[in-house]
Amino acid sequence: MMKTMIRKLFCLLFSLCLFAGLFPAASAAAAEGEGLLDDAYLTEWMDTYIRSQDLAHNWQDFSVGFCYTATGDAWYYNADVFMYSASLYKVPVSMLMAEKEAAGELSQSDSVLGYSLEYLETSALVYSNNDSGHAMVSYLGGTYQGKCSDMCIQYTDLEQSYFVKDFFDFSYYSARFMTQVMTTLYMGGEERFPHVIEHLLQAQPDAYMNITMKGRWSVAQKYGAYEENNGNNNNHIAAIIYTPTPIVVVVMTRNVGSYQDHMAAVGAFLAKYALELDEKMAERAQQQTETEPLPVELDAAGETEPAHTDVPDAISTPNEAEVQAPTQEESALPQTSEAEEEATPFSGELQAENQAARMKSVFVLAALVLLLVVLVAVYAIRARARRRLVTRRR
């Protein structure tokens, strides 16, 4: 019990340290021509985390997927292991239903097997109601065990040969598959998948990724939890975290204790890394602007000015609308009002706010460190007392 409590405190301390800036910031630097993400750095961090949390014995049952939506760059860790999806299937199934609504085939008030589409989507995505999930699967023509898996491949760029038989027969997912599904959901937004993100923003407000994200950025997330007959305990989370440039984070685990704490710690690290990527994107855009040739002025002969090429979208810096944390109502289709667009991410007001948040994190961290020290001391005293008792009995 004591060891479990100490491990949970360590996870929380680690997450707070990342946001407080007490640990070195994640390095977003990568060699030229190798893309924006530093895959080697991310993998090294994940390996270190696995060892530090005593998860090395079941590291193959800990999968992570990450996508930086500004560029679509993705990183995966052990992401091709297939695990029982539990309730994760409710996301792509709801996306199939939402596309029918977007096409005018259904409306929120239409009856689907005796229930309105609005009720089925809300209860399945917000409250993870199984009956609602199964009703949508049945309506779509899927099976109870397969759960429309064959229909959901369309939300990825993966070939059918990638998927194992259990994917089709028993709804076994991989982190790579689910990361691409969530990325498609984010990119399609309200226009392609009406109401899906809106519901996910209401799910688990105090759990999973919201353990570290709440009060910082909005999170649209869906958990999956199920213990199979063979004893395998599956616990997963798939999330869109609305950092200034939103990211997709998927963590799938099997037989891993304190899974919510681990998920929150991984999410906190990747959110911090995303902020570093934002800075890198801004630097690239600045460098591109500085190296662009100046427009050629018209000469005396009246020759026309050559066309001037704008900065390519692929390396443009995120605009002000993207760096504002959306409200729950706005997050499904992230947009900002004119008032929000007036504030820049580098304004003095935001810097002061960030400094205040950092100081608050430092104070919280100090209190937690003190608590951790006390717990360790108590544990050591009790262990010593037990040893003395054993010695006396002998």
Domain ranges of the chain: 2-276
**SS3 sequence of 41-57:** HHHHHHHHHHHHCCCHH
The pLDDT assigned to 349 comes to 40
147 CB-near residues (< 8 Å, 6+ apart): 85, 89, 93, 133, 137, 171
The pLDDT assigned to 345 comes to 35
The pLDDT assigned to 263 comes to 98
pTM for the predicted model, two decimal places = 0.70
Tell the residue number behind the tokens 């959110």, with chain if given.
Answer: 271
Which residues of the chain carry a pLDDT beneath 50? Answer: 16, 18-34, 297-354
Fold type of domain 2-276: Beta-lactamase (3.40.710)
- Mean pLDDT estimate for the chain: 79
The pLDDT assigned to 102 comes to 98
Q: Which helix (H) or strand (E) holds 387?
A: helix 348-393
The pLDDT assigned to 352 comes to 46
